Amino acid sequence: MVVLLTLRLAGYHVLGELGPQEYASLRNIQLALTEEKLVPPPPLPPSMFVTSERPSLAGADRDWSRLDPDFVQRVLALMARMEARGYPLALLEGYRSPERQDSLASQENLVTKAKGGQSKHQYGMAVDLAPMRNGKIVISERDPWAMQAYTALGEEAEAAKLTWGGRWSFKDYGHIEVPGSIASLTRAKR
């Protein structure tokens, strides 16, 4: 208090009215410092995930608690931004066991190239998301609206410093993950 009073009396620090930009900036700082935790949405009924296009989703794990807590907060913030853009998202899959990863990698219709232990899904640092339109999950990249949603997802993911699978040679438009190697990420979590 003494320092502030000294600076103010010396003319170095003048307190003025906050304008809208300064107020918004201070509010954002305050929100960041309070560490308000976002809460995952309630689970969708399993019947919503049974599709002829992706039958493997029936056995997918959509339990948010099995994912890295910091990553969950980043994904939930991204999902909120996507909803604000008109593209609500559903979690298709989060955590994957190494056995499930191997099973998906060996399927005829290629879902992934990564084998067990090679995917960030096994470490709770990757998710697969899909847009929802009129209460239904739209997975098809052939649907123009869904493709717009996936493009928006890529923009939001990259703005949040996450890796988007739509940039890979093997396109995985609904996939986002923490950047960095598995080795460096798991070392950092110890």
Which residue reads 């997975």 in tokens?
139
pLDDT of the residue at 186: 84
Residue matched to tokens 């995930």: 49
* pLDDT at position 140: 86
Q: What is the pLDDT of residue 2?
A: 57
* pLDDT, position 170: 87
- Asked whether 28 and 63 are in contact (CB, 8 A), the reply is no
Question: Going residue by residue through the chain (190 aa), what tens digit of pLDDT does each one get?
Answer: 555 555 556 655 555 565 666 656 666 666 666 667 999 999 998 888 876 567 778 889 999 999 999 999 999 999 999 999 999 999 999 999 999 999 888 887 767 878 988 999 999 999 999 999 999 999 888 999 999 999 999 999 999 999 999 999 989 999 999 999 998 888 887 7
At 80 the three-state DSSP class reads helix
Set out the domains of the chain in order of their start, with CATH numbers: 1-36 (no CATH), 49-189 (3.30.1380.10)
What is the maximum alpha-carbon separation in the chain?
A: 76
Hey, what amino acid is at 41?
A: P
